[in-house]
Amino acid sequence: MTVSRFLLRLRRKVRQQLPEPVTQLFQKGTSYMQLITQTFPGGATLTGWVHARVESCPSFDKRPAVLILPGGGYDYCSQREGEPVALQFLAAGYQAFVLEYSTAQKAANWQPMIDAARAMVWLRSNAGQLNLMPNKIAVCGFSAGGHLAASTAILWDAAPVQEALGKERGKNCPNAVILGYPVVTSGEFAHEGSIDNIAGDDKALWQTFSLENQVRPGLPPFYIWHTVADTSVPVENSLLLASALRRNRVPFEMHLFAEGHHGMSLCTAEVHEANPHNAHWFGLCREWLDHVFAYQAGADGDPNIPCLPHGGKKG
């Protein structure tokens, strides 16, 4: 049995047994890893794989975190872009979470963006109990989940999102963004099915969700990877975003691979098809994120990591 299948069975078993509140889940030294779930209004579900505090590892009582948003055209959440990715970040020393956000008929009225914002706020609000650093939370998305991840940073202060958060408004912007073959534009190179699921016939929303036109200075750093051969979500989506980030002096790193179809996730046999060359994206991403968060060095990191690490308003 693979590790992924074992943890999937474990998750199903404990979902009905998890105590509330989350603080009851963590007893120092009892286990090296804890599995948690949290359901938000509307039905979005967050699953987390969390390193517990261990006396023999006192320097890692608190860790950075990654919130993973699977793709699926805003029609469903792809399993191969969720748990397998989370386990890789867990193995790299990060607290890892996967959000099954609202899709299909439930994806209207900004609901996926609200789901992701609520997840970000929940992680920060429970940072102490989750053993994570509230100013070092990255969001990682693939395909339409990449659109959602980018929106979580670029459209973090959109009125529908902030109104839904209520008194928790302003605490939802990530500190870093990781995008795999993301949907970005609603223009010439759009993945129209994705945009249609979140915007419908509202032409103004189509323009709002064309993210290359919404980029502004002060956003958190981005890591982007794509394949040039992608015929479902053309590589121009990533190129348009990178160009906008460059114009607005937002830090980013981008890797383009010549070959490979859409939806490759980790590019391993476990997630459908192995591509050892393209699989390097994850190691490069981990090195990039370690650097952005100054994590492996054991430092507190750059206090100037942008985009409101604890909430508030931009100047």
**pLDDT (tens digit, 9 = 90+) per residue, 186-205?**
999 999 999 999 999 999 99
Residue 296: its pLDDT value, please?
A: 76
94 and 45 in contact (C-beta within 8 Å)?
Answer: no
Model-level pTM? 0.87
Residue 167: its pLDDT value, please?
A: 85
- Token couple for 279: 């699989």
Quickly tell me which residue has 């693979």 as its tokens. 2
Superfamily of structural domain 37-52+59-292: Alpha/Beta hydrolase fold, catalytic domain (3.40.50.1820)
Query: What is the distance between the alpha carbons of residues 137 and 212, in angstroms, rounded to a whole number?
Result: 23
- Tell me the residue type at 113: M
Residue 1: its pLDDT value, please?
A: 46
6 CB-near residues (< 8 Å, 6+ apart): none
Q: How wide is the angle at C-alpha 182 spanned by C-alphas 188 and 43, nearest 5°?
A: 115
Residue 298: its pLDDT value, please?
A: 41
Q: Which residues of the chain have pLDDT under 70?
A: 1-31, 58, 297-315
Instruction: Tell me which residue of 206, 80, 216 sits closest to 145, measured CA to CA.
Output: 80
- Name the residue ranges covered by the structural domains of the chain: 37-52+59-292
Residue 303: its pLDDT value, please?
A: 36
Residue 16: its pLDDT value, please?
A: 36
Residue 61: its pLDDT value, please?
A: 83
Query: What is the distance between the alpha carbons of residues 194 and 191, in angstroms, rounded to a whole number?
Result: 6
Q: Is 197 left (phi over 0), alpha (psi -120 to 50) or beta?
A: alpha
Residue 19: its pLDDT value, please?
A: 36
**pLDDT (tens digit, 9 = 90+) per residue, 299-308?**
444 433 444 4
Dihedral angle over CA of 179, 10, 296, 70, nearest 10: 0
